């Protein structure tokens, strides 16, 4: 994968924004599950996905997951990093593919909605499989939390992050020096 210095710098800024956002803003939504905290860290990743395509979104996701997992979210350990990568990566991949094909406002909305639903589905599965291991709780306890807590939490989180991404994408991409008409897509070279 070839990247110009400007592209790497823009991606580094988005990575730093993501880590800073999770450091500054993380709050529980449901008192019954204080370990589920909302944070806006996916917003810069989604902006990067729209700016650089699905591969760029995955690259950003991987870098952010490792940095966050080793610093501000270290209590999650390797399982936290894996869950974050799969969840946010699925959102970025799906949203990036859709937006790559439908590069319009309507396409952005569809990309964010379908990406959100993909992430929510992934989080349900990941919670059922990995949370019992990570938190040392019975599978049945996690299963009982799916509908009343895990599903609404993830819908709220992806919903807020999608709305904010939609509202700020153009402004942030201009600040980073990438006009929408000059959109770069990072592709894997064969």
Instruction: Decide: 121 and 140 in contact? Cβ < 8 Å.
Output: no
pLDDT score recorded for residue 7: 87
Options 3.40.50.2300, 1.10.1760.20, 3.40.1550.10, 3.40.50.620; which CATH number does 10-16+39-170 get? 1.10.1760.20
- For 62-73, the pLDDT digits (tens) are 999 999 999 998
Domain ranges of the chain: 10-16+39-170
Q: Among residues of the chain, what percentage have pLDDT more than 90? A: 75
What's the pTM? 0.90
DSSP 148: I
The band of 38, judged by pLDDT with boundaries at 50, 70 and 90, is very high
Angle (nearest 5°) at CA 2 between 175 and 48 = 35
The band of 181, judged by pLDDT with boundaries at 50, 70 and 90, is very low
Tell me which residue has tokens 């699905």: 54
Instruction: Decide: 166 and 47 in contact? Cβ < 8 Å.
Output: no
């Amino acid at each position: 994968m070839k990247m110009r210095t400007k592209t790497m710098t823009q991606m580094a800024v988005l990575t730093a924004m993501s880590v800073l956002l999770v450091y500054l803003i993380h709050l529980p939504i449901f008192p019954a599950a204080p370990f589920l905290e909302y944070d806006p860290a996916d917003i810069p990743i989604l902006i990067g996905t729209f700016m650089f395509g699905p591969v760029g979104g995955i690259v950003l996701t991987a870098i952010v997951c490792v940095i966050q997992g080793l610093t501000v979210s270290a209590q999650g350990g390797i399982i936290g990093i894996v869950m974050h990568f799969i969840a946010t990566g699925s959102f970025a991949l799906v949203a990036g593919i859709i937006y790559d094909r439908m590069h319009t406002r309507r396409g952005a909305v569809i990309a964010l909605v379908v990406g959100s639903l993909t992430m929510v589905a992934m989080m349900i599965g990941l919670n059922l499989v990995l949370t019992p291991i990570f938190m040392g709780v019975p599978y049945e306890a996690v299963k009982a939390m799916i509908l009343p807590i895990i599903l609404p939490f993830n819908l709220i989180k992806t919903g807020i992050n999608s709305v904010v991404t939609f509202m700020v994408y153009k402004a942030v991409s201009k600040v980073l020096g990438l006009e929408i008409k000059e959109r770069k897509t990072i592709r894997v070279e064969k």
